[in-house]
Structure 1
Amino acid sequence: MLVHTVYFWLKPELTAAQLADFRRGVESLGTIKAVDKIYVGTPAKTERRPIIDSSYSFALTVLCKDVAAHDAYQVDPIHLAFIAKFKTFWTKVQIYDAE
């Protein structure tokens, strides 16, 4: 299994409608054939501790069966359309991949 985790820092001036549109866009990534499961969320309202980074706007976790599935996800037209549509929404993206 490959776990692809993406954190998005969005521009603070985005409207509520833009944020809702972004979330729908992120959730659409779950329709990609190479994806087994996705999880989408915002920072949890857990107790603040020095080791927790809750500065991001949205988190996406994508589960793929292997590296080949991950690679297919990366070039899928749905993924590429998401990037093209929303890349102006973020100021930073950080990705962690684990096997």
Structure 2
Amino acid sequence: MKKPSRRKFLGTAALIAAGTAVSAMPLSDKNKPYPVVHHVFFWLKNPDSQTDRDQLIKGIKTLKKIETVQDIHVGVVASTEKREVIDSSWSVSELLFFNDLEGQATYQTHPIHLEFIKNCSHLWSKVLVYDILEA
């Protein structure tokens, strides 16, 4: 049996590494799945109430049942470094992703969204929305 050379081993390892790196790369920036983002920040009327916060989070999570919502992230303020540019005055955030503006418009009038507003609006004192379209 022929003993493999170090050069051949290193060459094979380099090819495997390159193949792995290429397969992990996105195929194209044009294939980004969700070009429309709907980011909402909620300020609770009772910001110290864990019950109110949990109820709002539970309500927000029902929105993922809407067929045009492609992905959802629900969050609370992170305990990161306090800096002048960071607003940590809000309580809960929802981040929704859509394929297109039509899907986001469908979400706005969807019965599940309207039910969420009906059931949870008493919990917040302020809502701020950022709708984002990929540039």
Q: Shorter chain as normaliser: what TM range?
A: over 0.9
CA RMSD, Structure 1 to Structure 2 (Å): 1.3
Does the CA contact (< 8 Å) of 2:56 and 2:120 recur in 1? Answer: yes
* Count of residue pairs brought into register by the alignment: 99
5+ unaligned residues in a row in structure 1: which ranges?
A: none
Task: Provide Cα deviations, 1:7-50, integer angstroms capped at 9, x if missing partner.
Answer: 00001277433322211101111111010001000011110100
Q: Which moved more, 1:18-27 or 1:40-49?
A: 18-27
CA distance in 1, matches of 2:106, 2:47: 33
Q: Secondary structure at the match of 2:104?
A: helix
TM-score calculated relative to the size of structure 2: 0.70
Q: Map 1:1-99 to 2 at 5 A.
A: 1-12=35-46, 15-99=49-133
Going by fraction, where is strand more abundant, 1 or 2? 1
Alpha-carbon distance in structure 2 between the residues aligned to 1:16 and 1:59: 15
CA distance in 1: counterparts of 2:131 and 2:98, whole angstroms: 11
Q: Which has the higher helix share?
A: 2
Asked if structure 2 preserves the Cα contact closer than 8 Å seen for 1:2 and 1:64, the reply is yes
User: Which segments of 5 or more consecutive residues in structure 2 lack a partner in the other structure?
Assistant: 1-34
4+ long deviations beyond 4 Å: none
Q: Give 1:88 deviation, angstroms.
A: 1.1
Contact 2:73 2:96 in 1 (8 A): yes
**SS of structure 2 residue aligned to 1:87:** helix
CA distance 1:7–1:69, shift in 2 (3 Å) = same
Of 20-29 and 2-11, the range deviating more from structure 2: 20-29
Higher Rg of the two aligned structures: 2
